[in-house]
Amino acid sequence: MTEVIVLPDPAAVAVAAADRVVAAVRAAPRGVLGVATGSTPLGTYAELGARHAAGEDFSGLDVVLLDEYIGLPVGDPQRYLEVIRRELADRIGLPHSRVHAPDVDATDVDSACAAYERTIAALGGVDLQILGLGADGHVAFNMPGTQPDSRTRRTALSEQTVRDNARFFGDRPDRVPRSVVTQGLGTIREARSLLMLVAGAHKADALEGLLARTGDLEAPGTALLDHPDLVVLADRAAARSAPR
Ligand code: GLP
């Protein structure tokens, strides 16, 4: 079932998302949290840091990444592993050893993708998966056209995503890696609960395309709509057309 909750602004989205993460962690203190990058979840991660500072215990968690760039040097601040260590793990008192990402430095990236699927399975699967939504409708790095049953794999970014993500690379599209590893839509669907965060007027078309439920491969998120527990937290600007 898909539930769409419309909130006044991005700050309210962050608080509501943090509430849900905290509830999930209290229910399963040794559980697995799936995390997204991009700018939308950053407020949620800051809020989780504040909850930790106020006494919330996240120390039993494992955290798994959705996706990662290929080709950035180890330790590069824009590598998603670094982003999640800095923006989330360090704030909630989680050792870096509990943050899991695909091995994009492997000589055989295809085998590393299969190994990442095994890592997630060995952890017991993802309990709660935080997701964003790209302006072109992409989910993780599953670009428009992705098959609903896709698995973790190497893929290429769309030109729009390269342009969108250039803001993290000094507004230089030429510095954005073109090649990435992403969990597939079929992989993401296996998480027990999905929590998608959408904020800003620039996401309104993408959210509208998702909720139109056309099953259109151009809106990859529609592959998630038949998930038994998908909650979309959207701010008013993004939810222009959402039911309320
Ligand atoms: C990147 C990530 C996605 C994320 C998207 C949206 O492409 N791979 O997981 O959902 O950005 O980012 P933002 O929240 O900055 O709009």
Model pLDDT for residues 210-240, shown as the tens digit of each residue: 998 777 888 999 999 999 999 999 999 999 8
What pLDDT shows up at residue 241? 66
The mean pLDDT values, 10 residues at a time, for the chain of 244 residues are 94 98 97 97 98 98 98 97 98 98 98 98 98 95 96 95 95 97 98 98 95 83 95 96 59
What pLDDT shows up at residue 131? 98
Q: Which atom of ligand 1 is nearest to the CA of 140?
A: 9
Any atom of ligand 1 within 6 Å of the Cβ of 66? yes
What pLDDT shows up at residue 58? 98
In the reported structure, the alpha carbon of residue 116 is separated from the centroid of ligand 1 by a whole-number distance in angstroms of 20
What pLDDT shows up at residue 28? 96
Name which of 198, 231, 206 is nearest 43 in CA terms.
198
Distance CA 101, CA 123 (A): 13
What pLDDT shows up at residue 244? 52
Instruction: Locate the DSSP E strands across the chain.
Output: 2-7, 32-35, 62-65, 67-69, 99-100, 128-131, 153-156, 179-182, 193-198, 230-235
Any atom of ligand 1 within 6 Å of the Cβ of 141? yes
What pLDDT shows up at residue 243? 56
Through-space distance between the first and last CA atoms of the chain, rounded to whole angstroms:
16
